[in-house]
Structure 1
Amino acid sequence: MKISARNAVKGTVKQVHPGAVNTEVVIEIASGVEVVSIITKASAESLGIAEGKEVYAVIKSSDVMVAVD
């Protein structure tokens, strides 16, 4: 895989929650550390997203905000 995004984190699909249009994908990137993504149902099916599959969480953003209490 070659991609221009600088933030690609390898992980394992932990949970898949399909909906009528979108699918929520929970990716475990380290023990106890998860990234959640919402993708189209068609994309999830095309990529063969299923629990236990190794995937990359690709993060492309022009803004990163930091907050504190």
Structure 2
Amino acid sequence: MRYPSQGILPHTKKKKKIQTLTDGEKDILAYYIHNQKRSEYLPYNDELVRELQRLRIIDQSSIVSSCL
């Protein structure tokens, strides 16, 4: 998935944002660290997940859907 250039923060603003993460954002990232994971299933429509994607702190690897 490619990201449009608008909405991506410059490096200095991204660094400041990382330093001021919300508790919810910290919880998402803590899972990766504590469990030594490289990937995790997260709801793609969750506001916190979308914000971390927008900042390019996490990346969406794929979209999986099922047809009934």
- On whether the aligned pair clears a TM of 0.5, the verdict is no
Please give the TM-score of this superposition, normalised by the length of structure 2.
0.24
Bigger proportion of residues as helix:
2
Please give the TM-score of this superposition, normalised by the length of structure 1.
0.24
Bigger proportion of residues as strand:
1
